[in-house]
Amino acid sequence: MADPRGGDRLTHVDETGAARMVDVGGKDVTARSATARGRVEVSARVVELLRGDGMPKGDALGVARVAGIMAAKRTPDLVPLCHPIAISGVEVDLQVTDDAVLVEATVRSADRTGVEMEALTSVTVAALTVVDMVKAVDKLARITDVEVVAKSGGRSGDWRRT
């Protein structure tokens, strides 16, 4: 079984250590997807507002969902060595628990490279938006546990975090 941490070399640096964009021109176009998740730890008052009357700034979860979708599409503008790819779908789900907002994003594409970075960017920006929307009530809100939990497609095939 392959090492879940990946290969044995950094692909985005050349033999001299200089940053480079990986050439994916020779790779096959395949259906690919990736799912990432993260948490925004919030106060009991924020949970109460999100479950009830809402936040002073408005629909925090709706705004965060749209921000996550937009972020996935802008990933190559934010992460220097990411390829622009044709994203075919983005789903962002936010769930309020007793002490956090759980954020999960799944990104799909048919292209030559994976969408893990797009899923991570989606989750992170959605989580940042939650923090922005709740900061008037909870200045201690914090983002934790952002990680890829699954991917499919491409040469390395399917993978799921255990």
Please give the structure tokens belonging to residue 85: 């790819």
158 is catalytic: no
Indicate the annotated binding residues for substrate: 81-83, 117-118
Q: Which of 14, 99, 132, 158 is catalytic?
A: 132
> Please, are residues 113 and 83 in contact by the beta-carbon 8 Å criterion?
yes
Three-state SS for 5? Answer: coil
Beta-carbon count within 10 A of 60 CB: 26
Annotated binding site: 81-83, 117-118
Q: 80-117 burial, b if ≥16 CB within 10 A, otherwise e?
A: eebbebebeebbbebebeeebbbbbbbbbbebbbbbbb
**How far is it, in rounded angstroms, from Cα 154 to Cα 150?**
13
Q: List residues with catalytic annotation.
A: 132
